[in-house]
Amino acid sequence: MTRFRRLFSSGGLARLRSEGATAPIVAFATFFALYIAINPEILTRFQLQTASNLVVPLAFAALAQMIVVIVGGIDISIGAIMSLSNVSFALLMVNLSPAIAIPVTLGIGAAAGLFNGFLVAYFRLPAIAVTLASFFIIGALTRELMDRPGGGISYDFFLATSGELIPFVPVSVFWLALFSVALYFLLQRTRFGRHVYAVGSNADGLEAAGVNSKRTILLAFMLSGVTVSIGAIMLAGSTLTGDPRSGDAYLLNSIAAVALAGVAFAGGRGSILGAILAAFTLGLIGNFLYFAGINSSWQYIIAALILLSVVAIPALVSRIQAERRKTK
Amino acid sequence: MNSLRVTISKTPRAAWPFVAFLGLFFIGGLIRPGLMSIESLLGTAAFAMILAVASYGQTVAIVQGGIDLSVANTIAFTALSFLTLTRSLGVGLALLVTLALGAMVGAVNGLIITKLNLTPIVTTIAMNGFLFGIILLLFRSSELATIPEAVSAVTSGRIEFLGTSFPAALLLGLILMVGLQLLISYSGWGRQLIVTGTSAEVARYAGISVDRTRIMGWALTGFLNAIAAIVIVGFYSQASPTMGASYLLGSVAAVVVGGASIFGGSGSFVATVGGAFVLGQVATLVSVANLGSNIQQLIYGVIVLGVVALYGRKKKA
């Protein structure tokens, strides 16, 4: 009981608030309540499974984008890395077992992160420009590997990534939860994790304290690349195919999810739970409208308005408070 | 030797992409002598000019230290609005309304960025999504096949020149370039925008109304995106909800290859045209050598990387 209370007083809620995760949690809770009210069927096994298969890859992409944003960067090539990993994995699965295909694909994600991170950290080039260049380069490589959807994903693999673990618990959510817990411990409980957050808020200060900030940035980009490729494997599993265009949508959506999660674009802040809930909210809007019988084109407008209100309302409140303080 | 170094260091940055463009042009001539002609030069220049025009709005955004990721759907939205409005309002009035719509989209971006302190990336991504929804709800693109003649005349219509001819869009793009360059280099507002892009704090100390300068900059970006939309519609004689997609990052690439700093405060319309010309000449060479669009994209990436490595280093704090 005391442990429970501690989770919700000091460590838990306070941390979530300081990481800016309150708004996405409230947004997600509201959204999900509405969703269940309109479509109680979501709680059936089949719908839970479809819905989570839809949003889990976006959650991985959002986490990957968040890691780069925490170290003060942004990744324009995230969709391209997603497509490359997705296509590579589908091609590897034609002849090889997942035990080989999965590590190789994660290696490809890490290599893409290494390329970006090396140029950003050691050459002091702006992340946005470096990843713009790798967007073109990785995109070219991907379409060279595969120019139309294909590959060899088996139904067994679909069951392993996108089926059900136990009734009412989709496997995809299980894998996401497992990864998130590991990421949580890596970012919040290790020296490397503290450096990741510190390098985003003050790289020079960290360097002065004797920490190798360049290596931290490089490793963060590589971790981000691996995270993207896990999302790409999940996507390949749920769609049973590799597609050179499959990652396209994740560029803007991953940035939107990270913004919705309240991650500061100046670096140094970001909540894992916030990013996942933000991705779930954005990813399920289209689905929600479909069941509410509304033209699903509205999803783009509603996503923009949710993003704007969730991000802008706290900004507006603090601005008004600041002005009131000034007049006093 | 020394004088050469001085010449090189005194050459304005905007000239370099044109030097590179001419270099690529001569390389093309070496590969295939037929390419070394005025026709080939003008052909490449016309296609490159479309990318340049689509990147003018992005130039303003990057000069003021932002980035516009709503360019794709601002182009599609204003293009489809223009074609729809033309049927009821006529070309002239439809043009005015369309340009006003573009400026309005940009001004809303600017208001959100300055008054709500949202980053330009997030704001313009939200705007891009918002406009996509509007496009899907409002327009049925199958009905929008007819392009007004006046628009075709100033874009895909051909102008006679030195015994050959080139699309009017090339001239239109050059006129826009000169006008915009004069505006940003010599008007008071243009200089304020550059100072704001270099450092908002310095601008504030200099007594510049930063928010107003910024909002006007974003409105200009939206306005220029609307102009781009009309030029694209005229030049390619088609419009669709996804017509702007390739300009989303293509415009950023053109501005960066032109030598602008991604952190703001530098960059010019002349340089953007130069950047677009380099990318356009690469596309010509790649297609002549039959290497395919993947190689073209690969080279684009390498060029962006090369230019960023030359100019884009973060200053050590």
A296-309: per-residue pLDDT in tens?
A: 889 999 999 988 88
Length of chain A: 328
Q: pLDDT class for B266, splitting at 50, 70, 90?
A: confident
CA B224/CA B52 separation, integer angstroms: 11
> To 10 degrees, what angle do helices B120-138 and B71-89 make?
40
Note the helical H segments in B146-209.
149-155, 168-186, 188-198, 200-205
Cβ within 8 Å, pair B301-A319: no
Mutate to test the interface with B, among A308, A316, A318, A323 (most CBs of B within 10 A): A308
Cα–Cα separations (whole angstroms), residue A231 to A112, A293, B273: 14, 30, 38
More confident residue, B109 or B207: B109
Least Cα separation, residue B261 to chain A (angstroms): 10
Here the tokens at position A171 are: 């496997």
Here the tokens at position B188 are: 């008071």
Q: How far separated are the first and last CA of chain A, in Å rounded?
A: 44
Does the pLDDT of residue A217 top 60, yes or no? yes
Q: pLDDT class for A19, splitting at 50, 70, 90?
A: low
Diameter of chain B measured on Cα atoms: 65
Contact A229, A85 (CB under 8 A): yes
CA B5/CA A313 separation, integer angstroms: 55
Q: pLDDT class for B110, splitting at 50, 70, 90?
A: very high
Please tell me the predicted confidence (pLDDT) of residue A17: 63
Contact B221, B58 (CB under 8 A): yes
Cβ within 8 Å, pair B130-A119: no
A169-170 and B158-161 as β-strands: parallel, antiparallel, unpaired? unpaired
Does the pLDDT of residue A204 top 80, yes or no? no
Q: Which amino acid is at A105?
A: T
Here the tokens at position A161 are: 């990534």
Q: Which amino acid is at A299?
A: Q
Matching residue, tokens 């035990």: A99
CA B274/CA B59 separation, integer angstroms: 12
Diameter of chain A measured on Cα atoms: 72
A-proximal residues of B, 4-23, CB under 8 Å: none
Q: What is the mean pLDDT of residues A318-323?
A: 79
Cβ within 8 Å, pair A298-B137: yes
Nearest CA in chain A to B125: A252
Backbone angles phi, psi at B309, to 5 degrees: -65, -35
Q: Within an 8 Å CB–CB cutoff, is residue A49 touching chain B?
A: no
Matching residue, tokens 């080139």: B166
Cβ within 8 Å, pair A140-B134: no
In a 3-state reduction of DSSP, which class is residue B307? Answer: helix
**Domain at A50-316: CATH architecture:** Orthogonal Bundle (1.10)
Cβ within 8 Å, pair A255-B122: yes
Cβ within 8 Å, pair B137-A123: no
Residues of B in contact with A135 (CB under 8 A): 249, 301
- Which residues fall within 8 angstroms of residue A123, CB to CB, at 6 or more apart? B309, B313
The answer to whether the Cα torsion of A273, A275, A277, A279 is positive or negative is: negative
Q: What is the mean pLDDT of residues B128-145?
A: 83
Nearest CA in chain A to B66: A128
Proportion of chain B above pLDDT 90, given as a percent? 62
Q: pLDDT class for B34, splitting at 50, 70, 90?
A: confident
Please tell me the predicted confidence (pLDDT) of residue B143: 56
CA B151/CA B237 separation, integer angstroms: 10
Q: What's the count of helices (H) and strands (E) in chain A, helices before strands? A: 15, 2
Here the tokens at position A56 are: 């889990």
Contact A114, A131 (CB under 8 A): no
CA A70/CA A218 separation, integer angstroms: 13
Does the pLDDT of residue A7 top 60, yes or no? no
Q: pLDDT class for A316, splitting at 50, 70, 90?
A: confident
Please tell me the predicted confidence (pLDDT) of residue B2: 67
Q: What is the mean pLDDT of residues B42-57?
A: 94
Q: What is the mean pLDDT of residues A135-156?
A: 92
Q: What is the mean pLDDT of residues B125-152?
A: 85
DSSP track, A202-243: -HHHHHHTT--HHHHHHHHHHHHHHHHHHHHHHHHHHHTSB-
Contact A181, A61 (CB under 8 A): no
Q: What is the mean pLDDT of residues A214-231?
A: 97
Here the tokens at position A198 are: 């510190």
Here the tokens at position A306 are: 């949710």
Ranges A69-83, A106-120, A300-314, B266-280: which has the least confidence: A300-314
- Which residues fall within 8 angstroms of residue A108, CB to CB, at 6 or more apart? A84, A85, A88, A229
Q: What is the mean pLDDT of residues A126-155?
A: 93
In a 3-state reduction of DSSP, which class is residue A149? Answer: coil
Q: Within an 8 Å CB–CB cutoff, is residue A250 touching chain B?
A: no
Please tell me the predicted confidence (pLDDT) of residue A46: 85
Please tell me the predicted confidence (pLDDT) of residue A16: 63
Q: Which domains does chain B carry?
A: 17-22+39-140+147-299 (1.10.3470)
- Domain boundaries in chain A? 50-316
Note the helical H segments in chain B.
2-10, 15-31, 38-63, 71-89, 91-115, 120-138, 149-155, 168-186, 188-198, 200-205, 210-236, 247-257, 269-288, 293-311
Q: pLDDT class for A170, splitting at 50, 70, 90?
A: very high
A312 half-sphere exposure, CB direction, 13 A CA radius: 18
Q: What is the mean pLDDT of residues B16-41?
A: 86
Does the pLDDT of residue A24 top 90, yes or no? no
Contact A109, A134 (CB under 8 A): no
Nearest CA in chain A to B304: A133
B306 half-sphere exposure, CB direction, 13 A CA radius: 12
Residue ranges of E strands in B203-311: none
A169-170 and B164-167 as β-strands: parallel, antiparallel, unpaired? unpaired
Proportion of chain B above pLDDT 70, given as a percent? 96
Proportion of chain A above pLDDT 90, given as a percent? 55
Mutate to test the interface with A, among B304, B313, B315 (most CBs of A within 10 A): B304
Ranges A194-208, A246-260, B189-203: which has the least confidence: A194-208
Ranges A7-11, A59-63, B179-183: which has the least confidence: A7-11
Of residues B116, B252, B313, nearest to A316 (C-beta):
B116
> To 10 degrees, what angle do helices A78-95 and A127-145 make?
30
Q: Which amino acid is at B190?
A: G
What is the helix, strand, coil percentage profile of chain B, to 5? 75, 5, 20
Q: Within an 8 Å CB–CB cutoff, is residue B256 touching chain A?
A: yes
Query: What average pLDDT does the structure give for chain A?
Result: 88
Please tell me the predicted confidence (pLDDT) of residue B85: 92
Output the pTM of the full model: 0.91
Does the pLDDT of residue A35 top 60, yes or no? yes
Contact A196, A71 (CB under 8 A): yes
Please tell me the predicted confidence (pLDDT) of residue A119: 96
Does the pLDDT of residue A67 top 70, yes or no? yes
Does the pLDDT of residue A116 top 90, yes or no? yes
Q: Which amino acid is at B215?
A: I
Of residues A119, A136, A312, nearest to B297 (C-beta):
A136
Cβ within 8 Å, pair B256-A129: yes
Does the pLDDT of residue B194 top 50, yes or no? yes
Please tell me the predicted confidence (pLDDT) of residue A3: 46
- Which residues fall within 8 angstroms of residue B295, CB to CB, at 6 or more apart? A140, B286
Backbone angles phi, psi at A216, to 5 degrees: -60, -45
CA A270/CA B285 separation, integer angstroms: 45
CA B236/CA A203 separation, integer angstroms: 48
Q: pLDDT class for B317, splitting at 50, 70, 90?
A: very low
Nearest CA in chain B to A248: B245
CA A110/CA A229 separation, integer angstroms: 8
Does the pLDDT of residue A328 top 70, yes or no? no
Please tell me the predicted confidence (pLDDT) of residue A28: 82
Classify residue A39 as left (phi > 0), alpha (psi -120 to 50) or beta.
beta
Q: Within an 8 Å CB–CB cutoff, is residue A312 touching chain B?
A: yes
Please tell me the predicted confidence (pLDDT) of residue B316: 42
pLDDT in tens, A86-99: 999 999 999 999 99
Residues of A in contact with B305 (CB under 8 A): 119, 130, 133-134, 137
Query: What average pLDDT does the structure give for chain B?
Result: 90
Here the tokens at position A109 are: 């994600």
Does the pLDDT of residue A8 top 60, yes or no? no
Cβ within 8 Å, pair A265-B121: yes
